[in-house]
Amino acid sequence: MAGSKEIKRRIKSVKSTKKITKAMELVAASKMKRAVASTLSSRLYAEYSWDILTSLSKNLEEISHPLFEKREGGNTLLIFITSNRGLCGAYNSQVTKKALQIVKQQNNKNNLDLITVGRKGDVAMRRIGRNIIATFTELPANISLSDVAPISKLVLAEYTAGKYDKVLVAYTDFISAMTQKPNIKQVLPISKTDLKELIAELGEAHSTPSEVAQGKESRIDYLIEGNRDKLLGSLAEKLTRMQIYQMLLESNASEQSSRMVAMKNASEAAGEMIDDLTLVFNKARQAGITQEISEISAGMASVS
């Protein structure tokens, strides 16, 4: 009977683990819902700002602003977005792998510095001894645009100071609750085609305003109040911030959904384990009873 006691203890511990993973799954699911909703609601703003940008400069090739100009040279700043906490499946390791590809490519003559968002990525990059110029780990679960302001200001300041020629972001694209894709995107200089794609992607779910944007962009003559270049500049800054914000939201949604899936798997595995252990426990119990009975009857036989 000693064996069955041990099994009982194991069943109990697996059961409490299952409770925890189940709770984490539910929490992640509700967080994911919120994250996805805010990702969707920020699209409208992105569409409109794009609309204004295209209206401002009748054709995109005319835009001349430092944030739009391509620079020679390969000094790169990589913003690396990961989660603060683990237990979310392959989420962190996948995006880290993707980021490391970039890091390795640029090893030789060009300089590559990092801004890390999230503790996990920070730890990973410090381990391999990369130069990290800033770390942001205090972002709330419900990110608002003002939380992104410090990051975008830092990035813009470093970029306009000419320290870097290119700013990339390694983040995780939220495709659906089951699939997330690690991705690298260039935010600065603002590449016009990239931006167009971004907006087009965003507009898919929400086709009317983007159709308007595409159809009318070059036809209206706008009266512009204030300095056009200034307006363009602040719009460019906003767009950069918006992009970083969008990527943070995507990453956040990805993190929560991959955590949800990981926890779901864990709960299922725990359930299976409990079933197996229960079977073993019952067998052991039965064996114990059989043994006792045979002992008793053997005793009886020897007495009579």
Residues in contact with another protein by CB under 8 A are: 38, 41-42, 44-45, 48-49, 51-52, 55-56, 144-146, 149-150, 153, 212, 216, 220-226, 230-231, 234-235, 242, 245
Name residue, tokens 């130069």. Answer: 131
For residue 203, the minimal CB distance to another protein (Å) is: 14
Q: What is the DSSP string of 75-139?
A: -EEEEEE--SS--STTHHHHHHHHHHHHHHHT-SSS-EEEEEESHHHHHHHHHTT-EEEEEE---
For residue 198, the minimal CB distance to another protein (Å) is: 14
What DSSP element (H or E) covers 115? strand 112-117
For residue 44, the minimal CB distance to another protein (Å) is: 6
For residue 42, the minimal CB distance to another protein (Å) is: 5
Q: Of 161 and 220, which CB lies nearer to another protein in the complex structure? A: 220
Q: Of 145 and 184, which CB lies nearer to another protein in the complex structure? A: 145
Q: Of 231 and 273, which CB lies nearer to another protein in the complex structure? A: 231
Q: Of 212 and 289, which CB lies nearer to another protein in the complex structure? A: 212
User: Of 2, 19, 26, which is closest to residue 274 (Cα–Cα)?
Assistant: 19
What is the C-alpha to C-alpha distance for residues 94 and 129, in angstroms, rounded to an integer?
19
280 HSE (CA, 13 A, CB side): 15
Q: Of 48 and 102, which CB lies nearer to another protein in the complex structure? A: 48
Tokens encoding 201: 């992607």
